[in-house]
Amino acid sequence: MNYRNIKFLTYSDLEISLFILIVSAIGSFIQIAGGSWDVTSHLLNQPESFFTPSHNILYSGIGLIVISAGIGSFLLRKKEIKQYTSISLSFKLLIIGSFLSLIAGPFDYLWHQIFGFDGLLSPTHITLTTGMLINSVAVFIGLYGVINNKNNTISRWKNLAKLFLIPSLSSLWFTSIWYVFMFVLPFSESEFFNFNLNIYSATLIASIFLPLVNSIMFLCSSKVFDNVFGYAFIIVYLFVLVNTFSNIIPTGDLLSPLIPWYLVTVLGASLLADILLNSRFIRINTQFKNNKLIAASIVGAIFYFFNYPMIVWTYGTFLNSNLESLNDVLPTFLNTIVSITFITIPVGAVMGLIGYFIFSKIENSLNVLIREKNNSKVMKSDH
C-alpha cells in the first residue's frame, strides 16, 4: 500500500496542530453552550439527572477537547512544535483544562446521585468551569499564534484559523461571563449545602467583573484582527445568539418577549463601539487611544443589558424583588429597569475604562508571547 496516497499523512505536524486547535474551538463553543443551557434547564425544574440533553452537549464539547488534548500531548514531543511558543503553550493548557473537566464529569455524576440538585457553585461545577475556562484560553492562544505565524507551511491556512478564531473568542467571552456568574447568581443553595455568597458581595463582584470582562474581550476581539471593522461586532453577535438560544428561548414565553429589545440594545451599542474604534471613516491615529477608551466605556456600560436574563437574579435580589422562579424574572426586570440603569451604566462605564488599562497590559504580553518569540523562532527554522 502506498501510504503517500493517504492525504492526511502528508500534512506537517504544524498543520495537524492547526486542525486539532480547530476541533478544540468547536468543542469549546459547544461546551459553554451546553453548560449555559443546563443552568436554564435547572431553573425550569426539568427532570434532574446526569444524562440530560444539555449535559450531553456539554460533555460532547469536553470530549472533543479531551481528544484534542490527547493528540496535542503527543505532538508536544515533536521538535517542530516545541519551537512554536503559542502552540506548545496552547496544548499544555488544553491538557490541564481537559484533566480538570474530565475528573469533574464522574465526580459530578456521583454528586448528583448522592445530593440530587447540587446548585451552581458546587465543588464539581467550579472544577468543571475552571477547566472550561482554561480550555477556552488555550484555543485562543493557539489560533492567535497561527494567524501571526510566518511559517510558509501554515500560511495557506491562516484564513481558516481566522474563521475559527471568531467562535473561539465568543466562547472565551461567554465562558468568562459564566465564571463570574458562578459566584454572583443565587442558585447555589440546595437541600444539603448553601454556597451562595451574601447578596452585597455578589452584587459588588458582578458590578466589577462583568463590565471588565466586556471591555477587555471587546478590545481583544478588535486587536487580534488588527482592528478591522466588523470582527468585534460579529463576535458579540455570536455571543448574543448563544445566550438567546441557551438562556432565553428555552423558557418559552417567560423571557422571549424581550428578545427584540435585547438584540437592538446590545447589538446597537456594540456596533457603535466597533464604529468608533475600528471604522476608517472615524478613526484618526492621533485619537486612537481616545477611541479605545470610549469604546471600552460603552461596552462596559451596557453590561447589565448584555447579560440579560441571568443578571436580573443578582440585582433583583439586591433590590429585594420577589424572585422565586423564572416567572418573576421579566416583571422584575421591567419594574427595576429605571433604578438599575442609573446604577449600572455609570459603574459599568468606569469599569470599562479600567478594563482598557488592564487590556493594555495584556496586549503587551500577547505581543511578546506570540509575535516576538514565535516569529523569531519561525524565521530561524525557515533558514
Q: What is the DSSP letter of 67?
A: H
Give the residue extent of every domain in the chain.
1-196, 198-383
pLDDT computed for residue 107 by the predictor: 83
> Lowest mean pLDDT: which of 86-90, 181-185, 339-343, 364-368?
364-368
pLDDT computed for residue 165 by the predictor: 96
The counts of H helices and E strands in the chain are 15, 0
Side-chain-facing half-sphere of 285: CA atoms under 13 Å: 0
- The residue with cell 499523512 is 9
Which tens digit of pLDDT belongs to each residue from 307-338?
999 999 999 999 988 888 899 999 999 999 99
Q: Name the residue with higher pLDDT: 350 or 120.
A: 350
CB-based contacts of 296, cutoff 8 Å, min separation 6: 215, 218, 219, 273, 352, 353, 355, 356, 359
Question: Rounded to 5 degrees, what are φ and ψ at 194?
Answer: -130, 100
Which tens digit of pLDDT belongs to each residue from 20-65?
999 999 999 999 999 999 888 888 876 555 567 887 898 899 899 9
Residue range 265-294: average pLDDT? Answer: 83
pLDDT computed for residue 190 by the predictor: 74
Mean pLDDT over the full length of the chain: 86
Q: With bands split at pLDDT 50, 70 and 90, how would you rate the model's confidence at 146?
A: confident
pLDDT computed for residue 2 by the predictor: 42
- Read off the C-alpha cell for 247: 438562556
Give CA–CA dist 17/94, Å, rounded.
12
Residue 152 has pLDDT above 80, yes or no: no
- Read off the C-alpha cell for 84: 512554536
Residue 372 has pLDDT above 70, yes or no: no
Residue range 252-262: average pLDDT? Answer: 94
Residue range 165-182: average pLDDT? Answer: 97
Residue among 315, 302, 307 nearest 186 (CA): 315
pLDDT computed for residue 284 by the predictor: 57
Give CA–CA dist 352/347, Å, rounded.
9
Inter-residue contact 135 to 93 (CB < 8 Å): yes
Helix axes 13-43, 231-243, angle to 10 degrees: 40
Residue among 105, 110, 74, 108 nearest 92 (CA): 74
CB-based contacts of 303, cutoff 8 Å, min separation 6: 210, 211, 214, 311, 344, 348, 351
Three-state DSSP class for 372?
helix
CB-based contacts of 130, cutoff 8 Å, min separation 6: 97, 100, 179
- Read off the C-alpha cell for 268: 446597537
Three-state DSSP class for 349?
helix
CB-based contacts of 240, cutoff 8 Å, min separation 6: 262, 263, 266, 267
Residue 248 has pLDDT above 90, yes or no: yes
Which tens digit of pLDDT belongs to each residue from 183-204?
999 988 877 778 899 999 999 9
Residue range 226-249: average pLDDT? Answer: 95
CB-based contacts of 236, cutoff 8 Å, min separation 6: 218, 221, 266, 267, 270
pLDDT computed for residue 8 by the predictor: 43
Is it true that the peptide bond before 309 is cis, omega within 30 degrees of 0? yes
